[in-house]
């Protein structure tokens, strides 16, 4: 937790021990637009034959959109290290589950078992 | 008496404090709607004891059936139901919540100097979920039981049995959420509710162990939940995710199931290890040897615990490359446990040791857990796993860890904190007897099973070739002794509620914050929030405190 | 961050607790922090819950790619796309709702919550239409599952429009795995939506009484996190389920 | 010993005379696995002894009576490093040793004699290449590598022979293999070790190890007339496989002669080794395994051929060294009585499966 900030703009603001960012609606609007553009982009991209890149591109766009939501709508950009670590831990364990299971399936094709 | 550290107040004048968390409000509703972590812990203690004895009775039936090679006491399908219910009750309704939901619930806030867990309502909800799961399990038992084994192996559980898989699955799902909420609550509490001065490395190791176990609960349990949802969907509407006839892969279920169920064994054992750290320090009057190493080994077990699940599937057709990776990681996860054992042993070095009941259980834990852990390496090494897996060797191994380890630790903890929870001492002599009886009974029950497993006797068999009978007779005889060993504490602990000696604040002269307040504690735990100005297990600080008190009184 | 303002904290005397502070917390900030952290931990369990489904999806998509393509062609991009728009917009209105609560704009909060509620309902409505279509075509896995659309794509408008070729029977059968996952994943997502909408209704009721605009915004914030999480799940479900190889 | 009751006495005598710590070593791999096992037992005993000695000696030396005031010790990096590194080293050694044995058990030699095993609730069906069928029994010769190709017809089973120290899961929908070379004639236990439902504990049998001469005698005495490959040939004919898989220039499918063990180019790119598992997959899920140059027109035989039928077909294709026999079957397909081939092997759906499963409703 950061040190108390006495630079009170809200006048009657209640006490909070850490800086509580309020993200402005402008940013929300920009993010909304970015998400909508991302959706359009991902639909458009799926109609173009990019071979192996198709799913990768789709997932890349989805990841970008998710990151935007997490960072801004969910305020993680302004959150404590602990929250960031928590998100990281979630993604990490998710990747362990998906990655190590898939690794088993892919490597089954390499050997005779 | 110089061979004990027990220091009780003068029994002729001592009284249980009038105001404490139990006396504060009366009536059933004040318990059922409570937000007090201590009351919820007591509720949990009563309910898990109930389910422990149900599971124990089922274990008794299993041992009775195995007295003879034929399936003569019950039919094979009854036997299958009995061992399935034994597994489900013991794992989901006893072992997973045993230490965390009772002792952890009661003492984590007290140890870190908080008034309560961060989310008291969620804590109560978690108990209700537990009870809901428990009632569903009882309902399952009443309406014919289930015979999938606690592992719900597909496609057996989805297509080939006609028993109550759905209600059992729902019960496990619900009990799983109870466990998630408990773990979540602990993590938040440990992060956000520590008293001033209570830095991470001043926390008792009990708290560290629970922190590690909670991470596993929060991240592992949902995967079990989704696996069970998919099994239920497959049974009801026939989706084909695990069904080989539709192109699904039954092995995928194993992956998802063990992704939870392997970490689950660490959920079960880590809190027990936390108890041992407390008792061994208290009864040797010494700081735990290598505090940091023990703390980090808990976290290491939690982290590595997520990378080893496929060692349950070595012979089940995972790729040989996966086998290599998972076997290697399994060997790595064994190391932190070895570190803990040696650190505990060296905590005794140059201590001033006394042998009260919790310490006897602790010694029992150390011996049995060492055996349980080392035989785990037999199974983690892929070569010997081929021969030993799916036999009684496995059964013996996890009973050594779970019963020899966790249950011993649970009993050590219950005896250790009983004076704090109730304000009264348990009777020392008979409880020491119970500890010894348990240890003997346990070894007689489960050691022969290692030999049975090596000889090749498969697990989950209602009948077996006659040459295995003798070892099974030993095992059943041991189970009888073990049963006595487990019944004794219930009797004398209940007795002590009324007739036990008044314990006073700190009968063991222990250092934890929970001992520096009255017994039983106030609803708010402390008259005022303590300030932690010393390291954990600081016996010199404790001596200084005592001298200060004497000085102020004198 | 020039765009975002900082509400500055004021050191509060310890004995003056706001009414919504629970007794076992020392300060309100501690309570806020703790509940927020708890919500994040809960979302972690949600990630892992969906993680199992995504694992299954990725495995079978690799095994039965043609079946997944054909199955995906049965889904309507306009409906799915519209749903994505609805959900993203509802995420925006929810974020605005949190902003209104933080800046104590009661009217704005109620409006945002109602908009979120309507958008959420709209999403579920469209999902119902889509499910209805699947039921009509017997694409629900289970005993009445029909392979008609995949063995004979000319008989099926969606398959015809996508230019599907008739599939071999063995691969066509595996479309059932695709639809199993489709229903499991979107179904689980819909369950989360339904829970969210129920909580939203409760919150609208409370917000009109002014519950969240007195400075105690944790509940709105935490619900916002939940709602955004559900949105994120859909952000992945949409390309994974609807947009497999549309270029054929 | 008169005060010991006779029953307990008998019991003790029985125990002393039957006492064994490990099962008989009846295969080549068994002594190797036991070496690792006993090494681990030794390490465990030493480890356990160290822990017990530490606990007991410290308890005696530093009990409160003898040592009233504890000396506070923080820890010792050197000691902790010792008991981190030594167990780690030992565990890694066990890992490497164990993995070597694992690979040995699951890598059959090329010249191994192949026996098929089908697990179903609740019996083991063994099929020898010569057409000998066994239920819950397995006859094998000594001194010869025997490979088991195992599959389950319904749920997970596990084929375990403790005396050979081998075990392999029988998985529905997939072949698994294990091999052994028996050394000592005798009768040994055969268990199903994976819980598989009500009669799990009755899914046991005997493994009979015989000298090669005895084994040959047994083979000739228990033949059922047709070999597995011959059964496969009949099935091949009755399913009209040769209509496409022939050598005619306009053949719609690839010729199957000498296909076993070959590396086949796939139309999806890459090559695949045509082993048992591939042949099975190609029969049941043909469109996923299209050989280069051929159209994906082969129908699936999922639900039409039982696992035993597939085994017969696989065995037939394995032994197909020339197209001569195929030509013969092409010509004689019509001549074969309709029922014979199907009755021989084309089967019903796996028992216990719900009837609607895997059925196609159109």
Q: What percent of chain B has pLDDT above 70? A: 99
The whole-angstrom separation of Cα B30 and Cα C129 is 49
Higher local confidence (pLDDT), D299 or D353: D299
Q: Flag whether C114 is in a domain.
A: yes
Residues of chain C with a CB closer than 8 angstroms to some CB in chain B: 22-26, 30, 33-35, 37-38, 41-42, 44-53, 55-56, 59-60, 63-64, 140-143, 173-174, 176-177, 179-181, 183-184, 188
> Which residues of chain B from 440 to 469 reach within 8 Å of chain D, CB to CB?
451, 454-456, 458-465, 467
Write out pLDDT tens, residues B510-545: 999 999 999 899 999 998 889 999 999 999 999 898
pLDDT recorded at residue C245:
79
Q: Flag whether A98 is in a domain.
A: yes
Number of domains in chain D: 2
Residues of chain D with a CB closer than 8 angstroms to some CB in chain A: 106-107, 176-177, 273, 275, 277
**Is A109 a residue whose pLDDT tops 80?**
no
> Which residues of chain B from 498 to 537 reach within 8 Å of chain D, CB to CB?
none
User: Is residue A33 domain-shared with residue A70, that is, in the same domain?
Assistant: yes
Among B367, B384, B443, B460, most D C-beta atoms within 10 A, so best to mutate, is B384
Q: Flag whether B324 is in a domain.
A: yes
Boundary-marking domain end, from D224, D249, D276: D224
For tokens 């009846």, name the residue.
Answer: D26
Among B390, B413, B377, B380, smallest CA distance to B102 is for B413
Q: Give the single-character DSSP code of B101.
A: I
Minimal C-alpha gap between C107 and chain B (Å): 30
Residue B353 with chain D: CB contacts under 8 Å: 58-59, 62-64, 67
Q: Which residues pair with D138 in a beta bridge?
A: D207
Higher local confidence (pLDDT), A13 or B361: B361
Kind plus residue range of the DSSP H or E element containing A20 = strand A20-22
Nearest CA in chain B to A104: B322
Is D275 close to A112, i.e. CB distance below 8 A? yes
Q: Flag whether B311 is in a domain.
A: yes
Higher local confidence (pLDDT), B190 or D282: B190
Domain residues for A86?
A: 80-108
Rg (C-alpha) for chain D, rounded Å, is 28
If you count residue pairs, one on A and one on B, with CB atoms under 8 Å apart, how many are there?
42
Q: Flag whether C158 is in a domain.
A: no
Q: Give the single-character DSSP code of D303.
A: T
Nearest CA in chain A to C51: A94
Is C1 close to A21, i.e. CB distance below 8 A? yes
Number of domains in chain A: 2
CA atoms within 13 A on the CB side of B519: 27
The whole-angstrom separation of Cα D127 and Cα D309 is 11
User: Is residue A63 domain-shared with residue A88, that is, in the same domain?
Assistant: no
Q: Which residues pair with A105 in a beta bridge?
A: none
Task: Give the DSSP letter string of chain C.
Answer: --SSEEEPP-PPPTT---TTS-TT-SSHHHHHHHHHHHHHHHHHHHHHHHHHHHHHHHHHHHHTHHHHHHHHHTS-HHHHHHHHHHHHHHHHHHHHHHHHHHTT-HHHHHHHHHHHHHHHHHHHHHHHHHHHHHHHTT-SSSTT-B-HHHH-GGG-HHHHHTTPPPPPHHHHHTHHHHHHHHHHHHHHHHHHHHHHHHHHHHHHHHHHTTTTSSS--HHHHHHHHHHHHHHHHHHHHIIIII-SSTT-
Q: Flag whether C6 is in a domain.
A: no
Q: Flag whether B248 is in a domain.
A: yes
CATH for C132: 1.20.120.80
User: Is residue A37 domain-shared with residue A69, that is, in the same domain?
Assistant: yes
Q: Flag whether C197 is in a domain.
A: yes
Write out pLDDT tens, residues D197-255: 999 999 999 999 999 999 999 998 887 778 888 888 888 888 888 888 887 777 888 88
> Which residues of chain B from 146 to 185 reach within 8 Å of chain C, CB to CB?
180, 184-185
Is B116 close to C24, i.e. CB distance below 8 A? yes
The whole-angstrom separation of Cα A63 and Cα D9 is 73
ipTM of this complex prediction, to 2 decimal places: 0.90
Select from D11, D40, D67 the Cβ nearest to the Cβ of B378: D40
Backbone angles phi, psi at D140, to 5 degrees: -135, 155
pLDDT recorded at residue D349:
35
User: Is residue D98 domain-shared with residue D235, that is, in the same domain?
Assistant: no
User: Is residue D147 domain-shared with residue D246, that is, in the same domain?
Assistant: no
Average per-residue pLDDT in chain B?
93
The whole-angstrom separation of Cα D111 and Cα B349 is 60
Write out pLDDT tens, residues A33-60: 999 999 999 999 888 888 888 889 999 9
Write out pLDDT tens, residues D9-27: 777 777 777 778 889 999 9
Q: Flag whether D3 is in a domain.
A: no
Residue D285 with chain B: CB contacts under 8 Å: 247
User: Is residue A84 domain-shared with residue A70, that is, in the same domain?
Assistant: no
Over range B68-76, report the average pLDDT.
90
User: Is residue D242 domain-shared with residue D212, that is, in the same domain?
Assistant: no
Higher local confidence (pLDDT), A17 or B415: B415
Q: Flag whether C8 is in a domain.
A: no
**Is C213 a residue whose pLDDT tops 70?**
yes
Residue C47 with chain B: CB contacts under 8 Å: 222
Domain residues for D243?
A: 228-344
Query: Taking CA D282 as the corner, what is the angle to CA D278 and CA D287, rounded to the nearest 5 degrees?
Result: 130
User: Is residue D195 domain-shared with residue D294, that is, in the same domain?
Assistant: no
Among D256, D253, D272, smallest CA distance to D264 is for D272
**Residue D339: band (very low, low, confident or very high) from pLDDT cuts 50, 70, 90:** very low
**Residue B350: band (very low, low, confident or very high) from pLDDT cuts 50, 70, 90:** very high
What are B493's two structure tokens? 């602990």
User: Is residue D171 domain-shared with residue D121, that is, in the same domain?
Assistant: yes
Q: Flag whether A4 is in a domain.
A: no
Is A113 close to D177, i.e. CB distance below 8 A? yes
Q: Flag whether D36 is in a domain.
A: yes
Q: What percent of chain C has pLDDT above 70? A: 93
Contact partners of D by the rule of 3+ C-beta pairs under 8 A? A, B, C
B93-to-B131, B264, B442, D166 alpha-carbon distances in Å: 9, 13, 21, 35
Burial of B531 (0-12, 13-18, 19+ CB in 10 A): exposed
Minimal C-alpha gap between D267 and chain B (Å): 21
Domain residues for B300?
A: 33-553
Number of domains in chain B: 1
Q: Give the single-character DSSP code of D143.
A: T
Boundary-marking domain end, from D158, D192, D224: D224
Write out pLDDT tens, residues B162-213: 889 999 999 999 999 999 999 999 999 999 999 999 999 999 999 999 999 9
Q: Flag whether B296 is in a domain.
A: yes
User: Is residue D111 domain-shared with residue D181, that is, in the same domain?
Assistant: yes
pLDDT recorded at residue C2:
38
Our measurement of the distance from residue C2's CA atom to the centroid of its chain's CA atoms, rounded to an integer in Å, reads: 31
Among B242, B319, B330, most A C-beta atoms within 10 A, so best to mutate, is B319
Q: Flag whether A60 is in a domain.
A: yes
CA atoms within 13 A on the CB side of A66: 19
For tokens 């480890």, name the residue.
Answer: D47
User: Is residue A34 domain-shared with residue A54, that is, in the same domain?
Assistant: yes
Is A39 close to C215, i.e. CB distance below 8 A? no
pLDDT recorded at residue A110:
75
Average per-residue pLDDT in chain C?
88
Q: Flag whether B24 is in a domain.
A: no
Is D63 close to B3, i.e. CB distance below 8 A? yes
Residue D14 with chain B: CB contacts under 8 Å: 470
Is B241 close to C177, i.e. CB distance below 8 A? yes
User: B386 CB near a chain A CB, below 8 Å?
Assistant: no
Is C170 close to D356, i.e. CB distance below 8 A? no
Number of domains in chain C: 1
CATH for D136: 2.60.40.420
Q: How many helices and strands, by DSSP H and E, does chain A display?
A: 3, 1
Q: Flag whether A54 is in a domain.
A: yes
Q: Flag whether D294 is in a domain.
A: yes
**Is C14 a residue whose pLDDT tops 70?**
no
pLDDT recorded at residue A37:
95
Is B193 close to C34, i.e. CB distance below 8 A? yes
Is D101 close to B383, i.e. CB distance below 8 A? yes
Residues of chain D with a CB closer than 8 angstroms to some CB in chain C: 284-288, 296-300, 302, 356, 358, 360-362
Q: What are the DSSP E strand ranges found in chain D?
A: 113-120, 123-127, 133-135, 137-141, 145-152, 157-161, 166-170, 176-181, 186-192, 205-210, 263-265, 271-273
User: Is residue D39 domain-shared with residue D83, that is, in the same domain?
Assistant: yes
Name B288's Cβ contacts closer than 8 Å, sequence gap at least 6: B205, B277, B280, B281, B294, B343, B344, B347, B537
CATH for B113: 1.20.210.10
Domain residues for C237?
A: 40-140+177-242
SS3 category, B457: coil
pLDDT recorded at residue A111:
63
């Amino acid at each position: 937790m950061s040190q108390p900030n006495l630079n009170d703009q809200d006048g009657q603001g209640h006490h909070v021990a850490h800086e509580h960012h309020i993200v402005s609606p402008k940013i929300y609007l920009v993010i909304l637009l970015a998400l909508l553009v991302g959706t359009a982009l991902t639909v458009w991209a799926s109609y173009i034959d990019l071979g192996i890149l198709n799913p990768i591109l789709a997932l890349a766009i989805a990841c970008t959109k998710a990151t935007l939501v997490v960072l801004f709508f969910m305020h993680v950009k302004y959150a404590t290290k602990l929250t960031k670590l928590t998100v990281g831990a979630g993604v990490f364990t998710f990747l362990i589950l998906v990655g190590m299971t898939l690794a088993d399936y892919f490597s089954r094709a390499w050997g005779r078992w | 008496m110089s061979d004990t550290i027990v220091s009780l107040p003068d029994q002729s004048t001592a009284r249980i404090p009038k105001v404490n968390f139990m006396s504060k409000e009366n009536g059933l509703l004040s318990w059922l709607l409570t937000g007090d972590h201590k009351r919820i812990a007591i509720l949990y203690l009563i309910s898990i004891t109930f389910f422990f004895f149900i599971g124990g009775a089922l274990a008794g039936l299993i041992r009775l059936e195995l007295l003879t090679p034929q399936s003569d006491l019950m039919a094979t399908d009854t036997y299958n139901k009995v061992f399935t219910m034994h597994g489900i009750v013991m794992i989901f309704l006893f072992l997973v919540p045993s230490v965390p939901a009772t002792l952890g619930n009661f003492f984590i806030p007290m140890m870190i100097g908080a008034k309560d867990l961060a989310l008291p309502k969620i804590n109560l909800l978690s108990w209700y979920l537990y009870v809901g799961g428990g009632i569903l399990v009882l309902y399952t038992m009443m309406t014919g039981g289930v015979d999938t084994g606690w592992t719900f192996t597909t496609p057996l559980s989805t297509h080939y049995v006609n028993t109550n898989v759905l209600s059992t699955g729902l019960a496990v799902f619900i009990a799983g959420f109870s466990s998630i909420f408990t773990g979540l609550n602990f993590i938040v509490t440990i992060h956000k509710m520590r008293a001033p001065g209570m830095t991470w490395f001043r926390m008792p190791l009990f708290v560290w162990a629970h922190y590690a176990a909670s991470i596993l609960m929060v991240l592992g349990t949902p995967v079990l939940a989704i696996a069970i949802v998919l099994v239920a969907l497959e049974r009801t509407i026939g989706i084909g995710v695990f069904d080989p006839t539709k192109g699904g892969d039954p092995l995928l279920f194993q992956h998802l199931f063990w992704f939870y169920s392997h970490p689950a064994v660490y959920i079960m054992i880590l809190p027990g290890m936390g108890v041992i750290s407390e008792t061994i320090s208290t009864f040797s009057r010494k700081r735990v040897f290598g505090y940091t190493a023990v703390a980090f080994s808990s976290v290491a077990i939690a982290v590595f615990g997520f990378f080893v699940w496929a060692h349950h599937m070595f012979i089940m057709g995972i790729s040989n490359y996966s086998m290599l990776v998972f076997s290697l990681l399994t060997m790595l996860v064994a190391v932190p446990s070895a570190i803990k054992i040696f650190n505990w042993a060296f905590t005794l070095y140059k201590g001033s040791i006394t042998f009260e009941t919790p310490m006897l259980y602790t010694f029992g834990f150390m011996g049995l857990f060492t055996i349980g852990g080392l035989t785990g390496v037999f199974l983690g090494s892929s070569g010997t796993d081929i021969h030993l897996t799916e036999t009684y060797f496995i059964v013996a191994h996890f009973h050594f860890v779970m019963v020899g380890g966790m249950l011993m630790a649970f009993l050590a903890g219950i005896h250790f904190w009983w004076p704090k929870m109730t304000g009264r001492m348990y009777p020392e002599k008979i409880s020491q007897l119970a500890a010894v009886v348990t240890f003997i009974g346990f070894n007689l029950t489960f050691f022969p099973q290692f030999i049975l497993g090596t000889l090749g006797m498969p697990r989950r068999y209602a009948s077996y070739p006659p040459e295995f009978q003798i070892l099974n007779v030993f095992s059943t005889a041991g189970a009888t002794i073990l049963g006595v060993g487990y019944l004794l504490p219930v009797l004398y602990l209940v007795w002590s509620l009324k007739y036990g000696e008044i314990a006073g604040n700190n009968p063991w002269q222990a250092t934890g914050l929970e001992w520096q307040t009255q017994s039983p504690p106030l609803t708010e735990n402390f008259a005022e929030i303590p300030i932690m100005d010393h390291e954990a297990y600081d016996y010199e600080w404790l001596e200084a405190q005592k001298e200060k008190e004497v000085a102020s009184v004198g | 961050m020039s765009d975002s303002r900082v509400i500055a904290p004021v050191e509060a005397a310890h004995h003056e607790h706001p009414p919504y502070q629970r007794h076992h917390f020392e300060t309100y900030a501690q309570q806020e922090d703790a509940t927020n952290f708890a919500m994040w931990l809960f979302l972690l369990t949600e990630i892992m819950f969906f993680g199992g489904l995504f694992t299954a999806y990725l495995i079978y998509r690799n095994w039965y790619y043609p079946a997944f393509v054909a199955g995906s062609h049965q889904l309507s991009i306009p409906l799915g796309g519209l749903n994505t728009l609805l959900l993203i917009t509802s995420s925006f209105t929810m974020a605005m709702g949190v902003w209104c609560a933080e800046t104590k704009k009661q009217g704005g909060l109620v409006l945002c919550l109602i908009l979120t509620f309507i958008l959420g309902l709209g999403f579920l409505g469209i999902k119902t239409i889509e499910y209805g279509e699947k039921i009509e075509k017997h694409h629900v896995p289970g005993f009445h599952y029909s392979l008609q659309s995949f063995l004979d794509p000319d008989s099926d408008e969606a398959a015809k429009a996508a230019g599907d070729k008739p599939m071999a029977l063995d691969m066509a059968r595996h479309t059932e795995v695709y639809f199993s996952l489709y229903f499991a994943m979107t179904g689980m997502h819909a369950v989360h939506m339904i829970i969210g909408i129920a909580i939203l209704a409760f919150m609208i009721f409370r917000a009109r009484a002014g519950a969240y605009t007195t400075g105690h915004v944790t509940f709105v914030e935490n619900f916002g996190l939940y709602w955004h999480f559900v949105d994120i799940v859909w952000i992945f479900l949409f390309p994974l389920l609807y947009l497999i190889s549309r270029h054929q | 010993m008169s005060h010991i009751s006779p029953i307990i006495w008998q019991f003790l005598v029985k125990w002393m005379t039957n006492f064994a710590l490990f099962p008989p070593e009846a295969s080549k791999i068994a002594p190797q696995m036991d070496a690792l096992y006993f090494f681990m037992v030794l390490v465990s005993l030493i480890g356990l002894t160290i822990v017990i000695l530490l606990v007991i000696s410290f308890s005696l030396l530093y009990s409160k009576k003898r040592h009233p005031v504890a000396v506070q010790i923080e820890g010792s990096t050197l000691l902790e490093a010792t008991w981190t590194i030594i167990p780690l080293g030992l565990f890694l050694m066990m890992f490497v040793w164990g993995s070597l044995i694992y690979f040995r058990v699951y890598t059959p030699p090329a010249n191994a004699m192949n026996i098929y095993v089908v697990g179903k609730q609740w019996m083991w069906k063994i099929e020898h290449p010569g057409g000998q069928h066994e239920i819950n029994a397995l006859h094998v010769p000594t001194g010869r590598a025997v490979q088991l190709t195992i599959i389950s017809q319904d749920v997970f089973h596990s084929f375990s022979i403790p005396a050979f120290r081998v075990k392999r899961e029988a998985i529905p929908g997939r072949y698994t293999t294990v091999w052994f070379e028996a050394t000592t004639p005798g009768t040994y236990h055969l268990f199903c070790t994976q819980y598989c439902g009500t009669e799990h504990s009755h899914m046991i049998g005997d493994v009979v190890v015989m000298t090669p001469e005895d084994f040959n005698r047994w083979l000739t005495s228990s033949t059922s007339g047709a070999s597995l490959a011959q059964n496969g040939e009949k099935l091949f004919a009755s399913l009209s496989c040769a209509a496409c898989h022939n050598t005619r220039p306009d053949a719609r499918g690839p010729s199957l002669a000498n296909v076993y063990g070959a590396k086949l180019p796939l139309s999806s790119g890459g090559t695949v080794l045509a082993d048992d598992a591939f042949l099975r997959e190609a029969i049941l899920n043909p469109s996923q395994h299209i050989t280069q140059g051929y159209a994906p027109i082969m129908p699936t035989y999922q639900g039409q051929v039982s696992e035993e039928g597939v085994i017969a077909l696989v065995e037939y294709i394995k032994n197909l060294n020339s197209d001569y026999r195929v030509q013969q079957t092409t010509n004689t397909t019509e001549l074969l009585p309709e029922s014979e081939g199907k009755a021989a092997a084309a089967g019903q759906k796996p028992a216990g499966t719900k009837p609607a499963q895997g059925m196609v409703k159109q």
